[in-house]
Chain A
Amino acid sequence: MDSIILEAKGITKKYRQTLALDNVELKLQKGKIYGFIGQNGAGKTTFLRMVTGLAFPTGGELALWGKTGEKELQEQRKRIGCIIEGPALYPSMTAYQNLEVQRLQRGIPDKGIIDKTLKMVGLADTARKKVRNFSLGMKQRLGIAIALLNTPEFLILDEPINGLDPQGIVDVRNLIKSLNKEYGMTIIISSHILEELYNTATDFILIDHGRIIEELSEAELNEKCKQHIAIKATDTNKAIMVLEEKLHTDKFKVMPDNTIQLYDFLNDTEKVAVELAQSGVIVTGLTVTGDTLEQYFLDKIGGGKRD
């Protein structure tokens, strides 16, 4: 039970005639990074707003760390850090002052946490600059800093890479991964940049028209997307032997053109290349290929067309 951070039981949200969330059933487990995928209006933000107490469901029940009920839920939200639809910022204050307000309202005694967090998000040099002069990317970074200030157990990031430059995207990805690894932080990220989600998340939740249409792990996704490493070698039989004996895997297929499709080691292609090379196999081609997350998602919702 302790491993379940969040449980949604039949959560429904209706706005007059619009059904924004339709009987959502979901369980998030501790220590995972969830990619929350859906088109505009699919219900992602509505769901996240309910988790953070900004909106109320019209049906169903929400549990955080096993606790339900309005008062208990609100108490559990102290363990959460989030950015929903943009960060809460005071434009006329500096980045440091913004974090000081957050430190005071969260009752964090250690003032040093501010400099530490600013450094973590790469804003240490602009701590004394007024937020009104910040670029969109810098505001996003500051928003992430606010979300991280209390070292939350559960981090909710709604479109965290909006406005970030390529380096910023990589920085945020590395930050998310290190937070997950270092603190065991459970993280849910919604983003339209599915390729980036694919590179960051360990599990995926697909939502469409307010319904969860699929939940799957990275391995399951790779399997469904038929993600594989396509290996072309001068000696196919020797390559197969290396896969079986050195890499101890049988998750591969040999195609009629002698290309080997390896469904294992997708995150460690270097290891495959090194083992093959060290065994004297001349590799003429080694690429990760298959459906992308984007293609898979669009297939699931019917070609990406909305009513």
Chain B
Amino acid sequence: MTKLIRAEVYKLTHSLYPWGIWLAYLAFSAVLVRDHTGEFTYLRSALYPITFLQFLIVGIAAVCIGNEFNNRVIQGYVSSGHSRAAVFCAKSLIYSVSALMINELTLLFFGIQGWMVSGESIDAGLMIRLAPSLLAMNMVPMFVAFLTKSSGKAMGFGFLAYALQVASLNTPGITERAVYLPYGHMFIAFRDGAFSHYPVILAVDIVWSLVFLTGSYLAFRRSDLK
């Protein structure tokens, strides 16, 4: 698996798309964060666009995983003798770290902006506590990409899954149900600036991540690759 990770890191460092997506993410966030009223800190305000900008993470999954099936790269790894478990671990690790970095770097960017503009303290604790929820949110596009094994379908179905989750945040009773959805955790953090039931939230994130991680692996483990 180390060899695969080295190859994946080489690709990542010789590719422009993660930076392009992060810049797009940052630009969209900057527009959405203008809703910031002074009532919240910059960092808290940035939590609001994160939920809506998840469609860019769908794009990352489509490029980082779906497109790798299209370009026959994953097939190449398998036929080179790497076990499917190793290929899955390497791909999911690189995707998860890339997506999480995009999320967290955006939060950090706005944290620094708040510190520079209004002298707000950078709440590193909140950023760390958000990480499991962000990881859990990012699992859905990954699952779709491993299930569909194509960039186009990963994008299409990924957007659908994204739209359903966003829609679920706009239904009555979301305040009570938010704790059971990683998307809802962003809503709670935005609303309260802290997590009042963090052990429950963490448990939900872990279960959510495990379910989608296992689903992704099962979709890949014994499937025929074109």
CA–CA, A78 and B82, complex, Å: 8
With known contacts A54-B225, A92-B15, A104–B10 Cβ distance under 8 A: yes
Q: How far is the CA of A180 from the CA of B7 in the complex (A)?
A: 29
Find A146's partner among B71, B76, B225 (CB 8 Å cutoff): B76
The closest CB in chain A to the CB of B222 belongs to: A56
B78 in complex: contacting residue of A53, A89, A102, A104, CB < 8 Å: A53
Whether A105 lies near B4 (C-beta < 8 A) is yes
Task: Provide the bound-state CA to CA distance between A212 and B225, in Å.
Answer: 23
Among A74, A84, A91, A105, contact of B75 (Cβ-Cβ < 8 Å): A84
Q: Which residue of A lies closest to B90 (CB)?
A: A105
Q: Which residues of A contact B75 (CB under 8 A)?
A: 54, 84, 88
Chain A residues within 8 Å of B16, by CB: 92
Binds B, one of A93-101, A160-168, A293-301: A93-101
Q: Tell me which residues across on chain B come within 8 A of A150, comparing CB atoms.
A: 80
Verify A89–B225 contact, CB threshold 8 A. Answer: no
Q: Are A85 and B83 in contact (CB under 8 A)?
A: no
B73 at the interface (CB under 8 A from A): yes
Whether the pair B71, A52 counts as a contact (CB closer than 8 A) is: no
Q: What count of chain B residues pass the 8 Å CB interface test?
A: 25
CB contact under 8 A between A90 and B81, given known A84-B75, A85-B226, A146-B76? no
**Is A107 part of the binding interface, using a Cβ–Cβ cutoff of 8 Å?**
yes
Residues in chain B near residue A184, CB distance under 8 A: none
List the A side residues contacting B82 at CB < 8 Å.
74, 105
**Interfacial residues of chain A within 72-120, with CB under 8 A of chain B in the complex:** 74-80, 82, 84-93, 97, 100-102, 104-107
> Which chain B residue has the least Cβ–Cβ distance from A70?
B83
Is A55's CB within 8 Å of the partner chain B? yes
| Distance in angstroms between the alpha carbons of A195 and B220 in the assembled complex | 39
In the complex, the chain A residue whose C-beta lies closest to that of B226 is: A85
Most buried by A among B4, B7, B11, B79: B79
For residues 62 through 81 of chain B, which have their beta carbon under 8 Å from a beta carbon of chain A? 71-73, 75-81
With contact pairs A76-B81, A105-B82 given, residues A88 and B76 touching in the complex (Cβ less than 8 Å): yes
Whole-angstrom distance between the Cβ of B75 and the nearest chain A Cβ:
5
Residue of B nearest to A92 (CB): B15
- What is the number of residues of chain A that contact chain B, defined by CB distance less than 8 Å? 35
Interface positions of B from 1 to 53, Cβ below 8 Å from A: 3-4, 6-7, 10-11, 14-16
What's the Cα separation between A103 and B83 when bound, in Å?
A: 17
Cβ–Cβ < 8 Å partners of B14 in chain A: 93, 97
Known contacts A55-B225, A56-B222, A105-B4: does B71 contact A84 (CB below 8 Å)?
no
Answer yes or no: A49 CB below 8 A from chain B CBs.
yes
* Mask of B170-186 contacts with A, CB within 8 angstroms, 1/0: 00000000000000000
Q: Is A71 an interface residue, CB under 8 A from the partner?
A: yes
Q: Flag if B225 contacts A88 (CB, 8 Å).
A: no
One of A54, A76, A85, A101 near B224 (C-beta < 8 A): A54
Q: Contacts A49-B224, A93-B14 hold; do A106 and B73 have CB atoms under 8 A apart?
A: no
Residue on A nearest B15 in the bound complex, by CB: A92
Instruction: Give the distance in Å from the alpha carbon of A75 to the alpha carbon of B82 in the complex.
Output: 8
A interface residue numbers (CB < 8 A to B): 49, 52-56, 71, 74-80, 82, 84-93, 97, 100-102, 104-107, 146, 150
10 smallest CB-CB distances across A and B, nearest first, come from A88-B76, A78-B81, A105-B7, A52-B79, A77-B81, A55-B224, A104-B7, A88-B72, A107-B3, A54-B225
B interface list, Cβ under 8 A from A: 3-4, 6-7, 10-11, 14-16, 71-73, 75-83, 222, 224-226
